[in-house]
Structure 1
Amino acid sequence: MDSTLLKFALPAVIALAISAAPAAAVEQNCRFIQAKPEREACYKRQEDELAAKRRPVAPANDGQTLETLRQMRQDDDAVYRSINNICRGC
């Protein structure tokens, strides 16, 4: 039983370690730069890249989104009208 677990767990751990290594290497490479201006420029680039990744993506078509919201509102109103006629506690 333990050998079966080892057969599946070991490759999973290795794959996780390999996939996490490049991300850690990118973040840590700046601290090994000796020249202060170059090191600070490296940190600034990393900060800009991280901010770009965290920035939300703007919707492609606002007109379509507005129309979708209007349609949802109409559907909600229709549902509310239909439930309004239901007797509660008859």
Structure 2
Amino acid sequence: MDSTLLKFALPGLVVLAISTCPAVAVEQNCRFIQAKPEREACYKRQEDELAAKRKRAPAIAESNTLETLRQMRQDDDAVHRSINNICRGC
């Protein structure tokens, strides 16, 4: 059993480690630039990218929130209908 778990868990962990490395590398590559103007330009690009991501996130989150609320309302209505169909005095 342990060898089966190891056989499937190890490749999964390797894939996870590889997929997270590029994101970390993008954030850390500016500090290794020796020339100050180039390093500051790199930091500025990172700030701009982060600001753009933050602007996009609320718009996406708002549409997801509305859809989630709509789905929750439908689920609540379905549960309410099923509860009302239960015979309480049988």
TM-score by length of 1: 0.60
Larger gyration radius, structure 1 or structure 2: 1
Count matched residues. 58
- The residue number in structure 1 matching 2:49 is 49
Deviating beyond 6 angstroms after TM superposition, the runs of 4 or more aligned structure 1 residues are: none
Measure the CA separation in 2 of the matches of 1:57 and 1:37. 34
Q: Which runs of 5+ in 1 are unaligned?
A: 59-90
Q: TM-score, normalised by structure 2?
A: 0.60
- Richer in helix (by share): 2
When the two chains are superposed, the root-mean-square deviation of aligned CA atoms in Å is 1.3
The whole-number CA distance in structure 2 between the counterparts of 1:25 and 1:5 is 30
Give distance in 2, aligned partners of 1:35 and 1:25: 19
Q: Percent identity?
A: 83
**5+ residue gaps, structure 2:** 61-90
